[in-house]
């Protein structure tokens, strides 16, 4: 399985992960933070399935732009998957003829721009060889982590969340797990903010990893840019040999 952590900053200087989008085997994207900003456009056109973890803007900022970019007049259109609250949110707040045309209504009247598909916790969705299982996390709005499994290897994306339980049970039950993306948003001194915003700090990240029974690479993601140098230093000082910090633009291979 091949997962690219999409870049989300422009200009020179260090590339920073401001928005969340992970392209899986070219065809599937988990979260639409930056997929609609990627060039060449062919990369976007190959993506036919967009899974949304939750309604926060860093996870769907480029969604309306992506839908516009890949539109072709004809029966084919991308499918957008999300929990009921997330899909309600994009209907109400994005595709509402105010922030963006109501492409959901237009899809019923004209050749479609997009299809919506509602996810339920722990009900797997099959896309080609990939089985995608949404699992409820613990965040300020209903949020799914995802376990992606192609039958040979499996990878979990666990973001956004505060300390949580169920996803670890399912990850531990899956013998094919080869890697994990786990959020670490705020520095340890901002644990009070992490609690309110329902995220992890490096210390909480470490505690979450004590629940993981597989010895696999763990890629730290979703570091808040305002605190990035501190969070990076604190993650390094955890001294965990299997932990690396996610590199924007990098494609990770899992076998
Ligand atoms: Zn969030
Ligand atoms: Zn987020």
54 vs 134: CA distance, rounded Å: 11
Could you tell me which residues come within 8 angstroms of residue 77 by beta carbon, excluding any fewer than 6 positions away? 71, 107, 111, 112, 113, 114, 115
Which residues sit with Cβ closer than 5 angstroms to ligand 2, an ion?
Answer: 56, 58, 160
What band does 200 get if pLDDT is binned at 50, 70 and 90?
Answer: very high
**Ligand 1 midpoint to CA 126 (Å):** 25
Average pLDDT over residues 220-225: 97
Q: What is the pLDDT of residue 224?
A: 97
Q: Using DSSP, state whether 242 is helix, strand or coil.
A: coil
Q: What is the pLDDT of residue 37?
A: 96
Q: What is the pLDDT of residue 16?
A: 86
246 vs 249: CA distance, rounded Å: 9
Q: What is the pLDDT of residue 102?
A: 96
**Ligand 2 midpoint to CA 149 (Å):** 23
**Ligand 2 midpoint to CA 251 (Å):** 20
**Ligand 1 midpoint to CA 152 (Å):** 30
Short-list 58, 28, 26, 43, CA closest to 132: 28
Average predicted confidence (pLDDT) for the chain: 97
Average pLDDT over residues 79-99: 98
CATH topology of domain 2-253: Metallo-beta-lactamase; Chain A (3.60.15)
Q: What is the pLDDT of residue 12?
A: 82
Q: What are the DSSP E strand ranges found in 56-176?
A: 79-82, 115-118, 125-127, 130-136, 144-149, 154-158
Each residue's pLDDT tens digit, 108-129: 888 999 999 999 999 999 999 9
Q: Which residues pair with 117 in a beta bridge?
A: 81
**Ligand 1 midpoint to CA 59 (Å):** 8
Distance of CA 103 to the CA centre of its chain: 23
Q: What is the pLDDT of residue 83?
A: 98
Q: What is the pLDDT of residue 181?
A: 98
Could you tell me which residues come within 8 angstroms of residue 176 by beta carbon, excluding any fewer than 6 positions away? 149, 151, 152, 153, 154
Ligand nearest to the CA of 198: 1
Average pLDDT over residues 8-27: 91
**Ligand 2 midpoint to CA 159 (Å):** 7
Lowest mean pLDDT among 5-14, 141-150, 206-215, 246-255: 5-14
**Ligand 2 midpoint to CA 146 (Å):** 14
20 touches 59 (CB < 8 A): yes
pTM for this prediction: 0.97
């Amino acid at each position: 399985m091949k997962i690219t952590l999409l870049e989300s900053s422009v200009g020179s200087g260090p590339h920073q992960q401001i928005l969340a989008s992970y392209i899986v085997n070219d065809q599937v994207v988990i979260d639409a933070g930056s997929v609609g900003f990627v060039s060449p456009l062919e990369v976007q056109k190959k993506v036919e399935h967009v899974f949304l973890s939750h309604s926060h803007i860093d996870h769907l900022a480029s969604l309306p732009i992506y839908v516009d970019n890949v539109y072709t007049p004809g029966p084919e259109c991308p499918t957008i998957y999300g929990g009921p609250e997330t899909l309600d949110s994009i209907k109400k707040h994005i595709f509402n003829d105010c922030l963006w045309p109501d492409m959901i209504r237009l899809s019923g009247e004209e050749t479609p721009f997009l299809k919506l598909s509602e996810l339920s916790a722990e009900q797997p969705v099959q896309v080609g060889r990939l089985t995608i299982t949404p699992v409820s996390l613990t965040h300020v709005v209903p949020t799914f982590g995802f376990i992606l499994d192609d039958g040979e290897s499996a990878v979990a994306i666990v973001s956004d969340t505060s300390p949580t339980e169920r996803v670890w049970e399912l990850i531990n039950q899956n013998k094919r797990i080869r890697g994990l993306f786990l959020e670490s948003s705020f520095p340890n001194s901002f644990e009070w903010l992490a609690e309110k915003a329902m995220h992890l700090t490096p210390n909480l990240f470490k505690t979450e990893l004590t629940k993981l029974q597989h010895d696999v690479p763990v890629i730290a993601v979703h570091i808040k840019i305002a605190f990035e140098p501190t969070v990076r230093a604190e993650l390094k000082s955890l001294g965990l040999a299997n932990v690396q910090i996610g590199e924007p633009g990098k494609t990770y291979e899992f076998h």
